[in-house]
Amino acid sequence: MINIVLPVDFGDKTEQLVDGAVKFAKQLNGRIFLIHVAPSDIGFAIGDMGYQYFPEVEANEIREELVQLNKIEQRIIAHDIDCEHLLKQGIAKDTILEYAKAKNADYIVMGSHGRSGIYDVFVGSLTKGLTKDSHVPVLVLPIHD
């Protein structure tokens, strides 16, 4: 069976990305390992007293993201595709590459929003970073309008 790692960010194009990954998995008789990487600083805020950590904010955000991840997993399973998920805090690129290695991934499926140029200079592109550093093929699906 082909192992496919599918990172999701819950953005407005996530549904389109999941649809493409499901189609790809069906063609290859693959299973999907769904991952969402939450930022490590999710419970921190800057206020009058400098940086402050709010564990309840972090816990609520993680809980909400797990609900979303579970919904995506169930949607994939409804297509008769094996799926499991992981939510982990960390640096997205490194965490995804570690997960792909741990799951013996044959592919990583990512979306491309079609941004380029100045956006990549200042923000960077997770997809670009993964294609550069991954030891397994990265399938990039166009998910822009």
Q: What is the pLDDT of residue 51?
A: 66
Structure token digits, residue 68 = 């979303």
CATH number of 70's domain: 3.40.50.620
Q: Are 57 and 42 in contact (CB under 8 A)?
A: yes
Q: What is the pLDDT of residue 24?
A: 97
Q: Are 139 and 107 in contact (CB under 8 A)?
A: yes
Instruction: Evaluate whether residue 13 is within a structural domain.
Output: yes
129 class by beta-carbon count within 10 Å (0-12 exposed, 13-18 middle, 19+ buried): middle
Q: What is the pLDDT of residue 55?
A: 64
Structure token digits, residue 83 = 């799926």
pLDDT digits (tens, 9 = 90+) for 44-72: 566 666 666 666 766 778 889 999 999 99
Residues spanned by the domain of 74: 2-30+55-100+111-141
Instruction: Evaluate whether residue 17 is within a structural domain.
Output: yes
Residues of the chain predicted below pLDDT 70:
41-55, 57-58, 113-124, 144-145
Instruction: Evaluate whether residue 124 is within a structural domain.
Output: yes
| Number of domains into which the chain is organized | 1
Q: What is the pLDDT of residue 113?
A: 65
Instruction: Evaluate whether residue 39 is within a structural domain.
Output: no
Q: Are 139 and 123 in contact (CB under 8 A)?
A: no
Instruction: Evaluate whether residue 43 is within a structural domain.
Output: no
Instruction: Evaluate whether residue 14 is within a structural domain.
Output: yes
Instruction: Evaluate whether residue 38 is within a structural domain.
Output: no
Q: What is the pLDDT of residue 125?
A: 78
Instruction: Evaluate whether residue 42 is within a structural domain.
Output: no
Tell me how crowded residue 144 is: count the other CB atoms within 10 A of its CB. Answer: 10
